[in-house]
Chain A
Amino acid sequence: MSTELHPVPTASESGRATALLRFATAGSVDDGKSTLVGRLLHDSKSVLADQLEAVAHASRNRGQDVPDLALLTDGLRAEREQGITIDVAYRYFATPRRRFILADTPGHVQYTRNMVTGASTAELAVVLVDARNGVVEQTRRHAAVAALLRVPHVVLAVNKMDLVDYAEPVFAAIAAEFTAYAASLGVHDIVAIPISALAGDNVVEPSAHMDWYGGPTMLEHLETVPVGGDPSAEPARFPVQYVIRPQSGEHRDYRGYAGQLASGVLRTGDPVTVLPSGLTSTVAGIDVLGRETAIAWAPQSVTVRLSDDIDVSRGDLIAAGPAAEPTQDVTATVSHLNERPLRVGDRVLLKHTTRTVRAIVKDIPYLIDIDTLAHVEAPGSLQVNDIGRVVLRTAEPLALDPYATNRRTGSFLLIDPADGTTLTAGMAGESF
């Protein structure tokens, strides 16, 4: 066993380590999202010969002369039959600089729910706009969802530039309007890129038609946008998943708390508080998957040992630095995901980090019209795809951080206790 004193990413040793960027795409029906995704996969050489052959074969069966790249991403029988995309799908590709996980979210009906799902794990969102139409209702909706989910980076892809003669003023006007709108929602890292997904301009290769554009191509931006944030700037949050007690052999007295660091950095010797009990202790040791270490940071999965023999179990949060006061009264912005409405008075289960508690919907003060951001007061219930404010009372206190400061300890699910259905996704604290 070795002890590392400095944060050296372990896999760099192999010489082939690379970072991972999770991103989501959002676009309306005819904005060319499938073409963009197909182009990214195809031009980054992530589509292999047998997949292309399968697409060509399926296209021929439909009487199409040219392979339909949308068939690369529409995987289910019903999707191919109806020519629509039902659900979020995850795609994988790599370049020499990065590995990418793309949450491909459909723009059809049920879009809010699907985009919320895709955006929840994304560090970057691509919002697609048709250059001929400019910023439309759907664009504002996508920007609002990205802002609501606190996606750190947003890319505005102004597509179909080939259909507006690659004209700079068209692009500049759309970029200015979108940037102003997104900034009003609190999104500040916005990069606008003029592209033609069909012709391949500025997707992977720089365009020969837009000399006036001096920015990166889509892929170049995806490869260079900062990922991972700076854990040292955040307080440590460690939800306890599982208690490891071998009770045998050389580890007879070992008692470790297994979990994944939700935020921050944890070091041996750090004073910590266990929530919701409020008991305090000190980090006696950290094991990172079989190897002892002196420092760990989010999002590593580790095992933490404490110097005091106190009561800690699954569902507890080990916190260092300033921590939120545990509360049984939760106010949150929620995205309702299920056809079954959420009503005032409903009894639900709330899953927050590793803790699941009973909860009652005490109030639904308003729902947000996601197009205008106007409030609709006292709707009484939330329907599928609605985004609104909810006040909950929980049976046990929760150590919730505001979602604005911590996407991991500020998020939760509401679950139907009768059949386990996932009903609602919640974000604690203020929304925009």
Chain B
Amino acid sequence: MLPSDAHDRVNPYALSHLDALEAEAVHIFREVAGEFERPVILFSGGKDSIVMLHLALKAFWPAPVPFALLHVDTGHNFPEVIEYRDRTVAEHGLRLHMASVQDFIDNGRLRERPDGLRNPLQTVPLLDGIESNRFDAVFGGGRRDEEKARAKERVFSLRDEFGAWDPRRQRPELWSLYNGRHAPGEHVRVFPLSNWTELDVWQYIERESIELPQIYYAHEREVFSRSGMWLTAGDWGGPKEGEPVERRLVRYRTVGDMSCTGAVDSDAVTVADVVTEIAASRLTERGATRADDKVSEAAMEDRKREGYF
């Protein structure tokens, strides 16, 4: 369903919902810049982190973004996304930190899971990256509309030395007064897009003409079906026997590890097409394309308790 603005034009000072969400997100970025020593933006090359970076660029204009980026690399990336990431880092003169799942597997600190999923393995390198760089605030692109456990997440979310989220011990968050105080060893996860929905993100991408990796738009790709999702064949371990590969017109709604991020059938080739498609979709973003959220009823909550975003 697409909103129209006829009603609220009456008040010349009424902000559109996108302007209100943008103003709030910028406020959050600036609070972090004002209160923390070593913030970092978690950057995957997915649309939410790209929108986050775009907002940060606007928040500090004409000065450069005062934060570095951190990419948790599962080793099973879409090449288009890595290319996009490196180009963006160079274009804006940013500093990129890496936390690599493959490195942790190679040196024996992590073991490959029998199901081949690498998304759940990200937590250890993420926490190690936070600790070794002494980051005290970590921006994530998480949105409360994504999942039930995320609906309870604060904008400023205190994590202990294990990176753990305890839903029973969250700080109440009132007005726009964010409490960023933390002890040494603790850090704060910050979610500037908390109040955005998937449709908001796409409408904003359209309004701001933000470039995304091409896999977000319909293209022909060799895929195979597993658990009701179209996965891309690759070195990560697919397809298995009995999973025939076919060529389909697809696009991605989320970008993550190739082993658990599914494509959807789509002929949406422009941002406007995508906005229309999402407005009409009867499936949520995660329901459609994320295998790891289907593991159990509380999969996201359990992973967040362990330090995941």
Please list the residues of chain A having a beta carbon within 8 angstroms of any beta carbon in chain B. 6-12, 14-20, 45, 48-51, 54, 58, 72-78, 80, 86-92, 94-99, 101, 113-114, 116-117, 120-121, 223-224, 226-228, 230-232, 241-242, 244-246, 250-251, 254, 258-260, 265, 287, 289-290, 297, 299-301, 303, 314, 337, 349, 351, 353-354, 407-408, 411-413, 415, 419-422, 425
**CB within 8 Å for A16 and B5 given contacts A299-B15, A422-B172:** yes
Known: A14-B206, A50-B284, A90-B151. 16 other contacts (CB 8 A): A9-B12, A17-B17, A45-B1, A48-B281, A48-B282, A58-B297, A98-B3, A121-B175, A121-B176, A227-B11, A241-B30, A246-B64, A289-B26, A289-B58, A300-B23, A420-B158
Please give, as numbers and ranges, the residues of chain B lying within 8 Å of A113 by CB-CB distance.
172
Subset of 11 A-B contacts with CB under 8 Å: A16-B4, A17-B3, A51-B284, A75-B301, A80-B297, A94-B199, A97-B3, A242-B30, A244-B60, A246-B63, A287-B61
Please count how many residues in chain B sit with their CB below 8 Å of the partner chain's CB atoms.
Answer: 77
Distance of A15 Cα from B1 Cα, bound (Å): 14
Flag if A90 contacts B144 (CB, 8 Å).
Answer: yes
Flag if B3 contacts A16 (CB, 8 Å).
Answer: yes
Distance of A21 Cα from B31 Cα, bound (Å): 24
**CB within 8 Å for A51 and B16 given contacts A90-B144, A254-B62:** no
Please encode chain B, from 9 to 31, with 1 for each CB lying within 8 Å of some chain A CB and 0 for all others: 10111111111111110110011
Contact of B174 among A117, A232, A290 (CB under 8 A): A117
Please give, as numbers and ranges, the residues of chain B lying within 8 Å of A98 by CB-CB distance.
3, 7-8, 17
Flag if A99 contacts B19 (CB, 8 Å).
Answer: no
Shortest distance in angstroms between B292's beta carbon and chain A's nearest beta carbon?
A: 15
Please give, as numbers and ranges, the residues of chain B lying within 8 Å of A241 by CB-CB distance.
27, 30-31, 33-34
The interface centre, meaning the residue of B7, B21, B63 with most chain A CB atoms within 10 A of its CB, is: B63
Flag if B179 contacts A48 (CB, 8 Å).
Answer: no
Please list the residues of chain B having a beta carbon within 8 angstroms of any beta carbon in chain A. 1-9, 11-24, 26-27, 30-31, 33-34, 57-64, 144-145, 147-149, 151-152, 158, 167-168, 170-177, 179, 181-183, 194-195, 197, 199-200, 203, 206-207, 281-284, 287-288, 297-298, 301-302
The interface centre, meaning the residue of A8, A96, A287, A349 with most chain B CB atoms within 10 A of its CB, is: A96
Please give, as numbers and ranges, the residues of chain A lying within 8 Å of B8 by CB-CB distance.
17-19, 98, 227
Flag if B34 contacts A354 (CB, 8 Å).
Answer: yes
**What 10 A-B pairs have minimum CB-CB distances, sorted nearest first?**
A75-B148, A420-B181, A50-B287, A17-B16, A18-B3, A11-B16, A301-B26, A19-B8, A289-B58, A120-B174
